[in-house]
Amino acid sequence: MVAPQRMKSPDKQEVCKKVLTLLKKNYSSTALKPELPVLETLIYAVCLENSALDAAELSYARLLNGFHDLNEVRVSSIYELEHVFAAQSQPEWRALRVKNVLQYVFDTTYSFDLDPLKRKTMELATKQLGKIPALSAFVRSYALQNSLGAHVLPLDDRQHRALIWIGLAAPGDTADHAAENLRPFVRKADAQLFCHLLRCLATDHRFSDWFSPVAAPAADYAATDASVGLTRLEEMLRRGAPPKKDAGRKAHDKPVEKAGASKSAMAGAGNGSTRAQSRRDSRAGSATSEKGKAKKAPARKDQSRAAPKKQK
């Protein structure tokens, strides 16, 4: 069997540009998070991972407004912080990561300020962020991209599954590895927008289940190559629904079955109504005859009473 040829670098870069253009036409590109301090960017990234933008914004606002300051968040228990992320997945992990970030920063700087990282080299900043316990690769990469200006692609699991569906990532790769492989094909000027629009696609309620290998058919989950994935992405965005196989046949079969069932039901209802009408007619006829007999009986009784008067 001849092994499939790998896509050349210029072709993959062109596919990334076309994906970006398609997503621009369907999603807003103005919802990017404004620049935040490094520490707040890490906290926001914890809220954003594997989540839609509106849910992340809500959790971030609840975290800052529900406590007196960041020190109160630091000394709070995991159980108390879980309620902030109750509407999101894995609230206990999010609470643990926020607490670990604040605890690490306080222990190393005796303050809640990580902006000195901006004055360090990218290598030293990356190494220091890697020392924060239980911090995911997505949160680190998000801070490096949005606060420190690094050319990285912060991808979480949901974005990674969307890339697999499009054909820009291999199913066996981790999200971090897929981001590193895709980074050379996305311009640094487009990287932040590319990740933002990819999140909009991955969390779109119309398509989000389709990117899951559990919900989607195994044969349709991962695209054979990016050109195929680009074609079906364009079709899906145009139709507003994932392109499913044999959808026309299934849609045609179901109404026929319903029509047959409805006809038999109507026939049964018609026969039942005819029998019920016959019973009502018979009861009405018997009632009319009884009323006639009841009217005739008093008349004979009156005649019998009047007869003796005529004899006198």
* 145-196: pLDDT as tens digits: 999 999 999 999 999 999 999 999 988 899 999 999 999 999 999 999 999 9
User: Which pLDDT value is given to residue 172?
Assistant: 87
Average per-residue pLDDT for the chain: 79
Contacts made by residues 242-250, CB under 8 angstroms, sequence distance 24+? 242/207, 242/210, 242/216, 244/220, 245/217, 245/220
In a domain, 127, yes or no: yes
- Is residue 48 within 8 Å of residue 140, measured between CB atoms? no
Measured torsion, CA atoms of residues 158, 241, 7, 161, in degrees rounded to the nearest 10: 10
- pLDDT surpasses 80 at 108: yes
Please identify which residue in the block is written with the tokens 């919900």. Answer: 215
The pLDDT score that the predictor gives to residue 209 is 77
Last residue of a domain, one of 226, 245, 264: 245
Asked, for residue 23, whether it belongs to a domain, the answer is yes
Q: Label residue 2 by pLDDT band (50, 70, 90).
A: very low
Q: Given pLDDT bands bounded at 50, 70 and 90, which one contains residue 247?
A: very low
What pLDDT, on a 0 to 100 scale, did the predictor assign at position 280? 56
Dihedral angle of Cα 294, 295, 300, 301, to the nearest 10 degrees: 70
Listing DSSP states for the chain in one string gives: -PPPPPPPHHHHHHHHHHHHHHHHHHS-S--PPPP--HHHHHHHHHHHTTS-HHHHHHHHHHHHHSSSSHHHHHHS-HHHHHGGGTTSS-HHHHHHHHHHHHHHHHHHHSSS--GGGGGS-HHHHHHHHTTSTT--HHHHHHHHHHTT--------HHHHHHHHHHTSS-TTS-HHHHHHHHGGGS-HHHHHHHHHHHHHHHT-TTTGGGGSTTTS-HHHHS-SSHHHHHHHHHHHHHHTS---TTHHHHHHHHHHHHHHHHHHHHHHHHHHHHHHHHHHHHHHHHHHHHHHHHHHHHHHHHHHHHHHHHH-
Q: Do 62 and 142 fall into the same domain?
A: yes
Q: Residue 258 falls within a domain, yes or no?
A: no
pLDDT digits (tens, 9 = 90+) for 62-71: 999 999 999 9
Residue 312 has pLDDT above 60, yes or no: no
pLDDT of residue 8: 52
Q: Assess whether 229 and 83 both reside in one domain.
A: no
Average pLDDT estimate for 204-216? 75
Structurally, the chain folds into a number of domains equal to: 2
pLDDT for residue 133 is more than 60: yes
Three-class secondary structure assignment of 60-120? HHHHHHCCCCHHHHHHCCHHHHHHHHCCCCCHHHHHHHHHHHHHHHHHHHCCCCCHHHHHC
Q: Are residues 44 and 97 in the same domain?
A: yes
| Structural domain boundaries, residue 53 | 36-146
Please identify, among 191, 216, 245, the residue that sits at the C-terminal boundary of a domain: 245
**Residues 130 and 175 reside in one and the same domain:** no
Label residue 241 by pLDDT band (50, 70, 90): confident
Residue 299 maps to a domain: no
Among candidate residues 245, 280, 300, the one where a domain is terminated: 245
Distance separating alpha carbons of residues 86 and 63, to the nearest angstrom: 12
Say yes or no: 21 and 68 in one domain. no
Is 284 a member of any domain?
no
- Please tell me whether residues 19 and 160 are part of one structural domain: yes
Percentage of the chain surpassing pLDDT 90?
A: 59
Nearest residue to 39 (alpha-carbon basis) of 65, 69, 16, 12: 69
Closest CA to 7 of 15, 183, 153: 15
Find out whether 43 and 60 touch, Cβ atoms under 8 Å. Answer: yes
Please indicate whether residue 284 or residue 200 has the higher confidence score (pLDDT): 200
